[in-house]
Chains A and B, each alone.
Chain A
Amino acid sequence: MSSALTKADLAEKLYEDLGLNKREAKELVEIFFEEIRTALESNEQVKLSGFGNFDLREKSQRPGRNPKTGEEIPITARRVVTFRPGQKLKARVEAYAGTKPQ
């Protein structure tokens, strides 16, 4: 099993391909994700062409249940992030699907 791609791997890529020094690369990856979070936190949609959009959805309160006790507890209204992959990313991922069942 191969391990998942992490921030450290992305920083390593910037170091190798663009020649940023290790500290700059690490910082840049950190700020990249932080700026996306900050935008979403301010209720701002994030559109990264070729990759996908991060949208915000307001969910109203709905009935829920404690799975252990079976007790009914309402799930409170909340705002959630959803990701809609772009056409290009979807097409690339589908091409993978044709080659290898998971």
Chain B
Amino acid sequence: MIDALPRVDRPLHLETPLSTVRALLEPTLTPLIDPIDPITLFDGAATTFDEVYQREYQALLGLGFVLTGSRPIAEDLVQDTFTEAHKRWTKVAEYDNVGAWLRRVLVNKSTSRGRRLMAEAKMITAVRARRTAHVTIPEDSSEVWAAVRALPKRQAQTIALFYWEDRPIAEIAEILQCGDETVKTHLKRGRAALARVLPNENGPTA
């Protein structure tokens, strides 16, 4: 809007120092410019792509691991997730909850059987070259996550986000793009199914 352009009380020239220009324009421009919202993660910290990458990498790797049972596949998922973010960072950075977006992308990517096959093949060929890493966890914990992965996918994702990520229902609903009640249903059914297959002292917990 022409009417909204700032007015200054003295002429500006190319030679005018930038600091002077800024000082002259700032009081007039400030009300016209949207405040730059910091990128908000779950912890509310303002950050850049690199900071998001550093901060979220391990949590996303863990989420990918519990959903797939394979560290190489999880690494592949995390790399692809951050690549998606990097490609459209200008847009992603404006989201209120970048962390939720990252998790949504990763969770959706984790459902591809083809991706799993490809990553497994990559892992095997890497093993031959002795340059891969695994996650070592006790066998009973490994069985717990295997039981989670055997659940219907949305139930498994809900359980993983609830127990691995400690996410509240509302955040899980945001990540999975569904309602709170749907999350509660997935959680209830998933826990009931796990109670049937995992030995535990309380029996079914649903």
A and B found bound together: no
